[in-house]
Amino acid sequence: MRYPPRLKDITKLQIDVTRMNTRYLSVGIYAMGFTHWIYKPPAGAFFDDCLKPDYFADASGMMRDGDTITISCQDGVGIRAISVHVDDREKMHMDMVPLR
């Protein structure tokens, strides 16, 4: 592919919506160690897919336990708390928990 890519070349690129892409993740609010994240994935991503365990694992270095996230997909919007935990094999897992 030549640089800069032509528009017809860009439209052929496939975006994997089954995994989180940090390109669509931004900080909404940051204060005193607390972050509220905003995630707006590309078309084709569904809200339930974003709630799967470890969907946000690629961002585990940035997100902390107790942070919140607004997920805005084509089929729904929701706010979730981020739960980070380490299993007995010392592997980090992230879950999206409904706010109470």
pLDDT score at 83: 82
**In angstroms, what CA-CA distances link 78 with 12, 25, 67, 84, 93?**
31, 15, 14, 19, 20
Q: Are 70 and 37 in contact (CB under 8 A)?
A: yes
The C-alpha angle 36, 49, 31, rounded to 5 degrees, equals 5
Over residues 5-45, the pLDDT tens digits come to 555 554 545 566 677 888 899 999 999 988 999 999 888 88
Banded pLDDT at 3 (limits 50, 70, 90): low
Over residues 50-98, the pLDDT tens digits come to 888 778 888 878 888 888 999 998 888 888 888 877 777 767 777 778 7
